[in-house]
Structure 1
Amino acid sequence: MSTFLHPRRVEQPTDAAIPDLTPRHFLSGWDAAKFDELKYSFGLTGVDQVGNFIWVDTFLYILVGLAAVLLGLRITHMWWRHNRHLSTMGNPTRQAYWATNRTSWWPWLNRHLLSAPLWKKKHNAQFQISNAIDNGTLPGRWHTIMLVTYVGLNFAWCVALPYKVLDHKATIAALRGRSGTLAALNLIPTVLFALRNNPLIPLLQVSYDDFNLFHRWAARITILESIVHTVAWMYNTGHGAGWTAIANGLRTEGSYGWGMVGTVAFTLIGIQAWSPIRHAFYETFLNIHRLCAIAALVGLYKHLEMHKLPQIPWMHLIFLFWGAEWIIRGLSILYYGFSLKKKSSVTVEAMPGEAVRITIDLVREWTPRPGCHVHIWMPAMSLWSSHPFSVAWAPTLTPDSKEMTLPILEGDSLSLPGAPQKSKQINLVVRARTGLTRKMYERACKSPSESFTTWGFIEGPYGGHHSLDSYGTVVLFAGGVGITHQVMYMKHLVGGFNNGTTSTQKIVLIWTVPSSDCLEWVRPWMDEVLRMKGRKQCLRIKLFISRPKGRVESSSETVKMYSGRPQPAALIEEEVRNRVGAVAVTVCASGGMADNVRAAVRPWLTEGCVDFIEEAFTY
């Protein structure tokens, strides 16, 4: 791998070994002294290639080492949960052993580092300077440590230059080489972490949201180092022969011209990806972002290729990643969206509370899994952009008739025990915000039946890597349309409780909605769950109506309704103190509610075997 990153490894270049990259034709007619002034502007004169390769190797070893540590921790955690699952499923009397922590260091690390916000409790709540400026979210404590280390190392590598030289322009040349090498190197994780089909996501079971955070910071480092690389070249060139030499170089030398194209495109990406601009005009941002990324990659590749620099294989790797991503996405669209007889369709139905329920009829079967999401494309309404949404429901097919199962009476089997669950449909619930979601809602409201059908297709499904099967107690928090992430878990866990295939004995859903009208979003699916066999023995539902229009009444002992907002601390304390086995607390809600749940869970991480899982889309 090291050979691939720098296949043309060379020792510190001497005058005889330096390739003649100087554009002599646009310097012709100048005296020898002026030409000598520019020797640090072109080629590898003054560039510390040995140091560059040392930092490339160091970066590579750190990245591989970190991935190995994370993979080892992930495998250990999976092995632990698998043993817990095998020893407790369907047997509530064997849960006590797993209800307490068996080590002290891991719960402490989880509470104070891995699950901790940066400071106090703010993490996914929007970080705003004012009501008009949205600066996104704050990284967690563990993410911050990794980011500070990453940024600090890049800064240290850029200042670790050969200063013991007589001519300061040689140091500037070394900075030019170092910053250019690091910019090209950092572009590899920048592109890899942006991919929806990043192979590290299922391997390490790290969410795309986390990788997207590191993508943004790797991109910022790449952009800054590209600018430093360009400014260092301009400084030595301008200092040696003035602005005329800079202009001549950009005009007559293709490599420098293409390099400037790449730097300008990277700079534009950095400006328009600023959080307030990105969130205010997200769909416009995506389109401009893609165009600028293409221009930057082409410009950088031409810059390296025309000078035959050793970083060219890195660009081949980047193009391989990006090309494989689009091929996989295209195959996913074709597989689920097209057949010889038909193509997939999307039905959008207006719902109370400014929401829409989306039904996607696929042309081929897929295997539903709790916690997954899809990207939906609707060319008639948003030509270039796809949007991620959690899969709320997927009606299963019976093995014989291949018909969608329908609930009849409580206790009736919805599918054969142990049979593989397949579906040809995906259901989503989406709140109308801006852009595509607002267009869908307004068009559905204007339709005669408050619904319409159009052509559309999906990418994915993605995610769904978190299994809750080994936990004796599962607490599901949902805020608004965050219920879409939890309904599939409820169905899966209730079915597992009935069939004896999961360890879960207690399932608690805590759902907050503005008004009782919003319950219509998932009523048909919730009715199906409530009719499942064994549901009353394992499932309790607590509905909180934050802005009730009248008196709130509970419908049964296992389904209770309350007015106002939930108090996560009290609810979690009740469930943890009365837990069966290990406890999993998951949340899919607004940033503020998710942060409150996180703050309520953290004290219990060291008191019992409790895990916290958060689903967020902080794009």
Structure 2
Amino acid sequence: MSMSTFLRSRRVEQPPTLARRHFFEGWDPADLEALKYSYGLTGVDQVGNYLWVDTFLYLLVGTTALLLILRISNMLWKHGRHLSAMGQARQSYWETNRTKWWPWLNRHILVAPFWKKKHNAQFQISSAIDNGTLPGRWHTIMLVIYVGLNVAWCAALPYKVLDHKETLAALRGRSGTLAALNLIPTVLFALRNNPLITLLQVSYDDFNLFHRWAARITIAEAIVHTVSWMYNTAHSAGWAVVMSGLRTEGSYGWGMVATACFTFIGIQAWSPIRHAFYETFLNIHRLCAMAALIGLYKHLEIHSLPQVPWVQLVFVFWAAEWFFRGVSILYYGFSLKKRSSITVEAMPGEAVRLTINMVREWTPRPGCHVHMWMPALALWTSHPFSVAWAATLTPDSKEMSLPVLEDDVLMAHGRPQKSRQISLVCRARTGLTRKMYERACNSPNEQFTTWGFIEGPYGGHHSLDSYGTTVLFAGGVGITHQVMYLKHLVNGFNNGTIATQKIVLIWTVPSSECLEWVRPWMDEVLRTKSRKQCLRIKLFISRPKGRVESSSETVKMYSGRPNMTALIEEEVKNRVGAMAITVCASGGMADGVRAAVRPWLTEGAVDFIEEAFTY
């Protein structure tokens, strides 16, 4: 049984529908013969189409299986390291790499940027045009293979035929089949609740990259499909027949609607437009995508084409996504007695701190983020923010147990802490964040409370518990991603339930006033027992307004920007056990940390982890 059996119907070409009989009613047989390559499956290479469908699905399943094997192997390796190094001050065995091929692959392929050092820094042709970011080297390899295979499959046509219109008919069938098939990963990779994110530990940011490229391929193939039909029809009977077919034949008309919507999406999703008007883009994008899917479904369904189940599967994916998002919103945001509320407080450096009071408890985990909805200021859109803090309902538990298998989502050391309140910090940019800041500034005590809710949590798949040394880089509000890790690691060190013996936080902010963003939470971390034995903090003030003075031996402040190469070299040479270096910062700073870390990946057991939101 072929793979495509699960996604396609075994139906063959159906008799003409009523609409089609009406369109061709009264036509001369000779004219119908001339138009035979413009409708139905005449000239379409269905055997070849299904061959490439099966090939695509086998490749997709094979890639997923390979990534799953690597993910499980990595999980087991870290779990073994965690158990053996937990609470140990000396971890010499884990400081060195145990293989040569994996560190080499990590340094030169998996962590490497496409070229030189630019990856998450904005790729700009001019200062006025933002062209997004460049994919990494591993992403580029996968995208080249993906795009190349689609081009090759569309080019594998019967060229040795007497009539070139038969070749175009085959191209029409091939491009249409592949466009419908590529729509499945296009939609799946765009979903926040995509099960592959948790299963494979691949970030949503990576899936979003492949969503964009799968969409571009789908759009290109849809255009080729439409142009092939139009050329054959116009060449055989003239443009008047093309226009008549679009007006009177429902399948052709709906197909043109789908192609037009897909084309508009491709133009509208161009990076400069997307980033300049993101909230407007998102709303229009959803409406156009729904119109395109409806048009495509009608186009296929009217003629009972075998790709109908594929589009039905896409609708199932989309419906399931909104169902799970709605469940999350309702569970944490509403009860019979009350609904969740959000307090917005203006902070120095044009930032706001948000405190969200939920109606039910949740178990916070380091590194996760939520999508926040605030209907009073932005009715239709949500925004992703890292969870900076979660106020626990009970004091830290002293009860300890062995860690569970490091599934990262399920990791626990002792009794899980519960919370009904989470805090976020965001800079005022445009749209919702600017509205929140301005309203808070104009409110009494520079804060206001409104109703709102969260969707999530998402992410938080990376565990740092098996590393003897962790270095956390943060730039600006990127500190929100690192504070929860800081709290978790310091508590874990204090309880002896993690391998981490050395924690270094390196935070760069424009001015010392920005330290107020997380001051209450950092004060709580600094009051933790035994934190002086494991934690060091280095604060870099990039635009100081006066003299910068260090507050203690373990918390030091510096003027200017950090020298990533020197900082990382110092920490690597003085590490304990395996080492994790994480960064959540602007694209330029993240690329600088990546460039400084890469040479050390083959010199010792060093891992690089980056958190990015390149929507």
TM bucket (normalised to shorter chain) is over 0.9
| CA distance in 1: counterparts of 2:264 and 2:24, whole angstroms | 31
Are 2:413 and 2:497, in contact at CA under 8 Å, matched by a contact in 1? no
The one-letter amino acid paired with 1:213 is: L
Aligned position for 1:261: 257
Q: Does 1:158 align with 2:154?
A: yes
| CA distance in 1: counterparts of 2:331 and 2:325, whole angstroms | 10
Q: Does 1:41 align with 2:38?
A: yes
The one-letter amino acid paired with 2:9 is: P
Are 1:344 and 1:362, in contact at CA under 8 Å, matched by a contact in 2? yes
Query: Superposed, which structure 2 residues align to 1:535-550 within 5 Å?
Result: 535-550=531-546
Aligned position for 1:2: 4
Aligned position for 2:307: 311
Q: Does 1:371 align with 2:356?
A: no
Q: Deviations over 1:290-318 (max 9, x none)?
A: 00000000000011110101111111111
The one-letter amino acid paired with 1:125 is: A
Aligned position for 2:296: 300
Q: Does 1:86 align with 2:88?
A: no
| CA distance in 2: counterparts of 1:398 and 1:543, whole angstroms | 31
| 2:65 maps to which of 46, 68, 72 | 68
Are 1:38 and 1:240, in contact at CA under 8 Å, matched by a contact in 2? yes
Shift of 1:9: 6.2
Identity rate, percent: 82
| 1:342 maps to which of 338, 357, 360 | 338
| CA distance in 1: counterparts of 2:469 and 2:80, whole angstroms | 17
| CA distance in 2: counterparts of 1:221 and 1:559, whole angstroms | 51
Give SS of 2:199's match.
helix
Shift of 1:400: 12
Q: Does 1:557 align with 2:562?
A: no
The one-letter amino acid paired with 1:525 is: W
Q: Deviations over 1:339-373 (max 9, x none)?
A: 01100000000000000000000000000000000
Aligned position for 1:205: 201
The one-letter amino acid paired with 2:353 is: R
Aligned position for 2:226: 230
Query: Superposed, which structure 2 residues align to 1:337-486 within 5 Å?
Result: 337-398=333-394, 418-486=414-482
Give SS of 2:349's match.
coil
Give SS of 1:580's match.
coil
Aligned position for 2:268: 272
Give SS of 1:384's match.
strand
Are 1:348 and 1:444, in contact at CA under 8 Å, matched by a contact in 2? yes
Q: Deviations over 1:185-233 (max 9, x none)?
A: 0000000000000000000000000000000000000000000000001
Q: Deviations over 1:585-610 (max 9, x none)?
A: 00000000000000000000000000
| CA distance in 2: counterparts of 1:421 and 1:157, whole angstroms | 53
Q: Does 1:176 align with 2:172?
A: yes
Aligned position for 1:534: 530
Shift of 1:30: 3.5
Q: Deviations over 1:372-428 (max 9, x none)?
A: 000000001000000000000001111799xxxxxxxxxxxxxx9823200001100
Shift of 1:32: 2.3
| 1:51 maps to which of 48, 53, 56 | 48
Q: Deviations over 1:562-591 (max 9, x none)?
A: 000001110000010000000000000000
Shift of 1:28: 3.5
Q: Deviations over 1:90-148 (max 9, x none)?
A: 1123x110100000000000000000000000000000011110000000000000000
| CA distance in 2: counterparts of 1:204 and 1:417, whole angstroms | 23
Are 2:8 and 2:308, in contact at CA under 8 Å, matched by a contact in 1? no
Q: Does 1:510 align with 2:506?
A: yes
Q: Deviations over 1:438-460 (max 9, x none)?
A: 00000000112100000100000
Shift of 1:20: 3.3
Q: Deviations over 1:155-213 (max 9, x none)?
A: 00001001111100000000000000000000000000000000000000000000000
Are 1:266 and 1:292, in contact at CA under 8 Å, matched by a contact in 2? yes
Aligned position for 2:74: 77
The one-letter amino acid paired with 1:600 is: A
| CA distance in 1: counterparts of 2:77 and 2:11, whole angstroms | 44
Are 1:18 and 1:44, in contact at CA under 8 Å, matched by a contact in 2? no
Aligned position for 1:606: 602
Aligned position for 1:291: 287
Are 1:399 and 1:419, in contact at CA under 8 Å, matched by a contact in 2? no
| 2:497 maps to which of 493, 496, 501 | 501
Aligned position for 1:406: none
The gaps in structure 2 that reach 5 residues or longer are 398-411
Are 2:396 and 2:417, in contact at CA under 8 Å, matched by a contact in 1? no
Aligned position for 1:97: 93
Give SS of 1:23's match.
helix
Query: Superposed, which structure 2 residues align to 1:100-249 within 5 Å?
Result: 100-249=96-245
Shift of 1:18: 6.5
| CA distance in 1: counterparts of 2:137 and 2:342, whole angstroms | 41
Shift of 1:6: 2.5
Give SS of 2:390's match.
coil
| CA distance in 2: counterparts of 1:26 and 1:269, whole angstroms | 31
The gaps in structure 1 that reach 5 residues or longer are 11-16, 402-415
Give SS of 1:342's match.
coil
| CA distance in 2: counterparts of 1:152 and 1:270, whole angstroms | 19
Are 1:345 and 1:360, in contact at CA under 8 Å, matched by a contact in 2? yes
Q: Deviations over 1:460-515 (max 9, x none)?
A: 00000000000000000000000000000000000000001110000000000000
Give SS of 2:506's match.
strand
Per the normalisation by structure 2, the TM-score is: 0.96
| CA distance in 2: counterparts of 1:419 and 1:516, whole angstroms | 37
Q: Deviations over 1:246-282 (max 9, x none)?
A: 1111111111111111101101100000000000000
| CA distance in 2: counterparts of 1:19 and 1:118, whole angstroms | 51
Shift of 1:43: 0.2
| CA distance in 2: counterparts of 1:400 and 1:156, whole angstroms | 59
| CA distance in 1: counterparts of 2:531 and 2:28, whole angstroms | 90
Give SS of 2:171's match.
helix
| CA distance in 2: counterparts of 1:556 and 1:486, whole angstroms | 21
Q: Deviations over 1:533-584 (max 9, x none)?
A: 1100000000000000000000000000000000111000001000000000
Shift of 1:35: 1.7
The one-letter amino acid paired with 2:486 is: M
Alpha carbon RMSD of aligned pairs, Å? 1.4
Count of residues in correspondence between the two structures: 598
Per the normalisation by structure 1, the TM-score is: 0.95
The one-letter amino acid paired with 1:546 is: S
The one-letter amino acid paired with 1:32 is: P
